[in-house]
Structure 1
Amino acid sequence: MDLLIKNGTVVTESESFIADIAVKDGKIALIGKNLPLEAKKIVNAAGKYVLPGAIDVHTHLAMPFGGTVSADGYLSGTRAAACGGVTTVFDYPMQRKGKGILETVEERLKMCAPQACVDYAFHCIITDLNEGSLLDEFQAAVDYGITSFKCFFVYKKEGMMVDDGTFVKVLLKAKEVGAITNLHAENPDIIDMNIERFLKEGKTSAWYHYLSRPEFVEAEADKRAIHWAKTFDAPLYIVHLANKEGVEAAAAAKLEGYNIFVETCPQYLEFTCEVYKREDGRNFVCSPPIKGQESQDALWAAIKNGTVDVVATDHCPFQSYEKDWGKDDFTKIPNGCAGIENLYPYMLSKANEGKITFNTAVKLCATNPARIFGCTDKGSITVGKDADIVIYDPDQEFTISVDNMHSDYDHTIWEGVKLHGYPVQTYVRGELVYDHGNFVGKPGFGKFIKREPRIRKG
């Protein structure tokens, strides 16, 4: 064997048990107690948890936005992922007017392949549904391994928004080819109306970013999207859902048997909209914005009752001087925050504190993302799966600081947050990439994950 991890508490989505894990050729070969095996490397994980690597299905690496580019490219973003126990990263290439889906993806693949420190996959954002992408390329993309497409109900001026008709066309075509539609749901017209009013009134601080797109602005779009998904019986994945009404609408649709999936993010679980009143409130500007306490409580309840399927990050950090562009005008603040290195440690810390179970953390951050998005070799500690493994020390205290992160940004909204327990090692396909605070992997080691469609054709 290449690797033998002994005596750890293995955690799956449904159970926890002490066992050894043997790894051969990048795959989990055996799981059992006191395995009498020899291995090139033996790790004693007694007193620690052994978990599947997390899958962050929502990142924006090297993304042009707001007059700049997000601070983490494919090297630093995937390096940070490895150091937070994330072994697979999904990025969002953006198809622009006149460009094809595969053309868009392959451009990003060329950027990512020589830099990626962990495995990676892509969703493709659809902004211009030309006849080629609709009639031909959806099937070609699925054959290529791209089994999810994203639409925006916002960012009209930036040329990213789709109307309801285009969204429904994407829903239907994605359903036909066995893909799933992801959606950023907010109401653009109400946002624009609010922004125009606030700017006229001289209300320009970060607090008005939140007030320009409060709970009901997101809730309306959630409900509208769910209505269309139900009407056409098409799968829908709502990204970064942050409001109580949206949670309730999704829960109702799920109870009716529809394939509605809900993602939320750690920033919505930790902070409330009160952060926008802080002097550094602009650093927390993201869209949808962080909401009030009632919505945060609803999200935690939805995690516990299963309405929330996935916790991912929407990782899209910018430098502090770029955030400062909007110090006197919230509309000039690049939207996005850091999170890729904090996702798994944060959720596991909440498990360690007893807010959720470790099994729930694994389900939200690893098993469900793999299941929903067709990563058949990922997401669980199972014989035959990729040996994407995290060893977690529940006794290690850790305080997040920009100084102990592994990204290229110069600040983090997570500064000073204390975590109880922390990952000590990360393995990607059996190779050690993170070891007790240090990145030990290699750029270019990560590989593209070709995903399976949701519906197999006979």
Structure 2
Amino acid sequence: MDLLIKNGTIVTSTGSFPADVAVEDGKIVSIGKDLGTEAKKVVDATGKLVLPGALDAHTHLAMPFGGTISADSYLSGTRAAVCGGVTTIFDYPVQHKGETILGLINSKKAVLEEEACCDYAFHCCITNFNDGEILDEMEQAVADGITSFKCFLVYKKEGMMVDDGMLATLLLRAKELGAMINVHAENPDLIDLRVEQYLKEGKTDAWYHYMSRPEFVEAEADKRVVHWATHLNAPVYIVHMADKEGLEACIKAKEEGHELYVETCPQYLEFTCDVYKREDGRNFVCSPPMKGQESQDALWLALKSGFIDTVATDHCPFQSYEKDWGKDDFTKIPNGCAGVENLYPYMLDAANSGKIPFEKVVEVCATNVAKIFGCENKGEIAVGKDADIVIYDKDKDFTISVDNMHSDYDHTIWEGKKLHGYPVQTYLRGELVYDNGAYVGKPGTGKYVKRIPKK
């Protein structure tokens, strides 16, 4: 036996219980009481929770956007991930005209093979069919374990947007292949109209980023996605849900039995649009933006009620001097915020304070992600699964600061956030990679996760 974690409380999506966990060759081989002490390494987890590693289903590492590249490389982003208890990230490479899916993915894999500190998977963003070549190539991509593809209903001027016809075509093609389409839903024409209006009126600070794409602008696109997916009888996954009206449309479709999944992010659960009135409001600019209190309350209620399936981060940080490009013009602010290292600690803090059960955190940050996206060896503390394990100290106080994070950015929207409880160790396939504040792994140990399509 390679590793034995003793005397902890195991948390699953359905319950918690005291037990030991035995690991061999990177897999969980036994779970039970009093498994002995015969192991190369024995860890005493008395008084602590033993959790499956989280899967962050939404990251943008080393992503060209807004005239620059997101601040976290594959090395620093995945290093930060494991230091927050995330053992698998899903990245979003963006395919452009002339590029193939597999050509793009393989170029990213080549970097990750050298740099990845956690395991990794991909959702490929499709922006151009290349005269039908992409539709044909999707079959091989699915065979290679890429079972989800993303569409932007925004970023028209950047050449990333798909229209309704392209969305419908991709929904049907993915359904045919046992794959799924992920959608960023906002209405680009309303955004452009409102941006033009505010700039003409000299309203240029960060508040008008929110005002240019408020609740109803996101909601219209959410409802359009629900309309097409339900009428085409195709599964769909709506990313970074932030508004009440769109959420309600998703809930109605789910109650009617449609295969529709909803993701939200910690920033929408923690902050409201009031942050854009702050002097440093530009640092909070992301799309969709944080919304009003009514939407935030609806998100928490849906999370507790089981209508939100996953919580992910949309991790896409930029340096403060890059955010400052938009100090006098919100349209020049690179869109995105940090979060991958904060996901699990933030959600577990919510559980530790009694807002939601610990089992719910495991469900939306680990188990559901693995099930929805076909990661058969991830997401649970169970025999036969990868030994991606987080040990969590419910009594450890922690204050988030850019100085104790493990990314390459120079600021964080989470600065000063106090958490009660924090991960103290992370194991990736049985190997210790994070230990009490320090990254102790080796870049390049992360592996590609080949996912299983739906049957």
Structure 1 and Structure 2 fold alike (TM over 0.5)? yes
Distance in 2, matches of 1:135 and 1:142, equals 11
Deviation at 1:113, TM superposition (A): 1.4
Distance in 2, matches of 1:197 and 1:36, equals 70
Q: Which residue matches 2:447?
A: 447
Deviation at 1:135, TM superposition (A): 3.7
Q: Indicate if the aligned counterparts of 1:304 and 1:356 stay in contact, CA closer than 8 A.
A: yes
Deviation at 1:246, TM superposition (A): 1.1
Deviation at 1:247, TM superposition (A): 1.1
Distance in 1, matches of 2:228 and 2:409, equals 39
Distance in 2, matches of 1:133 and 1:91, equals 23
Q: Indicate if the aligned counterparts of 2:101 and 2:134 stay in contact, CA closer than 8 A.
A: no
Q: Which residue matches 2:203?
A: 203
- CA deviations 1:90-135 (Å, max 9, x no partner) are 1001111021111111111112210000000000000001244444
Q: Which residue matches 2:232?
A: 232
Q: Which residue matches 1:336?
A: 336
Residue identity matched to 1:229: A
Residue identity matched to 2:186: E
Q: Which residue matches 1:382?
A: 382
Q: Which residue matches 2:161?
A: 161
Q: Does 1:395 align with 2:395?
A: yes
Which 4+ runs in 1 deviate beyond 3 A? 131-135
Distance 1:330 1:135, change over 3 A: closer
Q: Does 1:313 align with 2:331?
A: no
Distance in 2, matches of 1:15 and 1:202, equals 55
Matches within 5 A, 1:176-255: 176-255=176-255
Q: Which residue matches 2:256?
A: 256
Matches within 5 A, 1:269-284: 269-284=269-284
Q: Indicate if the aligned counterparts of 1:210 and 1:289 stay in contact, CA closer than 8 A.
A: yes
Residue identity matched to 2:393: D
Residue identity matched to 2:334: P
- CA deviations 1:318-345 (Å, max 9, x no partner) are 0000000000000000000000000000
Deviation at 1:36, TM superposition (A): 2.4
Q: Does 1:101 align with 2:101?
A: yes
Residue identity matched to 2:127: T
Q: Which residue matches 2:351?
A: 351
Deviation at 1:264, TM superposition (A): 0.2
Query: Counterpart of 1:114 in 2: which secondary structure?
Result: helix
Distance in 2, matches of 1:32 and 1:58, equals 34
Residue identity matched to 2:136: D
Distance in 2, matches of 1:113 and 1:207, equals 41
Distance in 2, matches of 1:67 and 1:113, equals 27
Deviation at 1:52, TM superposition (A): 0.1
Distance in 2, matches of 1:388 and 1:338, equals 23
Gapped runs of 5+ residues in structure 2? none
Residue identity matched to 2:105: V
Distance in 2, matches of 1:96 and 1:173, equals 19
Matches within 5 A, 1:407-446: 407-446=407-446
Residue identity matched to 1:13: S
Q: Does 1:295 align with 2:295?
A: yes
Deviation at 1:290, TM superposition (A): 0.4
Residue identity matched to 2:363: K
- CA deviations 1:226-281 (Å, max 9, x no partner) are 00000111000000000001110010000110011000000000000000000000
Residue identity matched to 1:248: E
Distance in 2, matches of 1:112 and 1:433, equals 16
Determine what percentage of the aligned residue pairs are the same residue.
72
Q: Which residue matches 1:361?
A: 361
Q: Indicate if the aligned counterparts of 1:134 and 1:173 stay in contact, CA closer than 8 A.
A: no
- CA deviations 1:385-418 (Å, max 9, x no partner) are 0000000000000000000000000000000000
- CA deviations 1:22-53 (Å, max 9, x no partner) are 00000000000011250000000010000000
- Taking structure 1 as the reference length, the TM-score comes to 0.99
Distance in 1, matches of 2:269 and 2:133, equals 37
Q: Indicate if the aligned counterparts of 1:101 and 1:133 stay in contact, CA closer than 8 A.
A: no
Matches within 5 A, 1:25-174: 25-174=25-174
Q: Which residue matches 2:286?
A: 286
- CA deviations 1:140-176 (Å, max 9, x no partner) are 0000100000000000011100000000100000000
Distance in 2, matches of 1:133 and 1:183, equals 21
Gapped runs of 5+ residues in structure 1? none
Deviation at 1:182, TM superposition (A): 0.1
Deviation at 1:454, TM superposition (A): 1.4
Distance in 2, matches of 1:271 and 1:238, equals 20
Query: Counterpart of 2:114 in 1: which secondary structure?
Result: coil
Distance in 2, matches of 1:243 and 1:113, equals 38
Residue identity matched to 1:51: L
Q: Indicate if the aligned counterparts of 1:282 and 1:324 stay in contact, CA closer than 8 A.
A: yes
Residue identity matched to 2:261: F
Query: Counterpart of 1:442 in 2: which secondary structure?
Result: coil
Distance in 1, matches of 2:132 and 2:5, equals 49
Q: Indicate if the aligned counterparts of 1:100 and 1:132 stay in contact, CA closer than 8 A.
A: no
Residue identity matched to 1:67: G
Query: Counterpart of 1:142 in 2: which secondary structure?
Result: helix
Distance in 1, matches of 2:33 and 2:45, equals 13
- Taking structure 2 as the reference length, the TM-score comes to 0.99
Q: Indicate if the aligned counterparts of 1:375 and 1:452 stay in contact, CA closer than 8 A.
A: yes
Distance in 1, matches of 2:129 and 2:107, equals 19
Distance in 2, matches of 1:103 and 1:229, equals 29
Distance in 1, matches of 2:291 and 2:254, equals 23
- CA deviations 1:188-243 (Å, max 9, x no partner) are 00000000000000000000000000000000000000000001110000000000
Query: Counterpart of 1:246 in 2: which secondary structure?
Result: helix
